[in-house]
Structure 1
């Protein structure tokens, strides 16, 4: 997976609060990596396949890039095998 370009991502820095839970809806095996925010719902498309946690890592990486934080600051709290996931930001 190529590292997402910052200019192609929405600004999600408002979610970078310690202990904040970020709910996302994921579409794996998409044509390209992108984030769309509609009506307060964050939808993330990643090209990675949902095998061995590859899609989860891709989602974590692109979400961290949009938030302007390191991927290691995001932890997958819920939704390991689901399309609906909750990440927690720890500063």
Structure 2
């Protein structure tokens, strides 16, 4: 998977994951893949935390780390700290991470 329309992009040390975060949701959940206004595919994630003082970002990192079966320290927000649209970097084996995240998002084209 490569190109601007993908939700996941392989990196030398791991993967880049494009996320659309919804704070103050009724539950923490990883949803489906949606396209933003620019056509960029993003993984929809909902968290119950409020978007104040980075609380929603912390819950997002915890949720994705648990889902990808990797430590929280290997997940970091590369861009979009204060935006709903975020780019996350997840360190680890790119092939394994892409398979795990693709499985979560329902995508099979890894």
1:2-81 equivalences under 5 Å are 18-38=13-33, 41-81=42-82
Larger Rg: 2
Query: 1:10-56 deviations in whole A, cap 9, x for unaligned?
Result: xxxxx8x8331111000000001100123663111000000000000
Q: What SS does the corresponding residue of 1:85 show, helix, strand or coil?
A: strand
Report 1 or 2 for greater relative contact order, CA contacts < 8 Å, sequence distance ≥ 6.
1
Alpha-carbon distance in 1 for matches of 2:23, 2:59: 9
**TM-score between the two structures when normalised by the length of structure 2:** 0.63
Q: Give aligned pairs, total.
A: 76
RMSD: 1.8
Unaligned 5+ segments in structure 2 are 1-9, 35-40, 93-110
Runs of 4+ in 1 over 4 A off after TM superposition: none
**TM-score between the two structures when normalised by the length of structure 1:** 0.75
In the TM superposition, residue 80 of structure 1 has moved relative to its aligned partner by 0.3
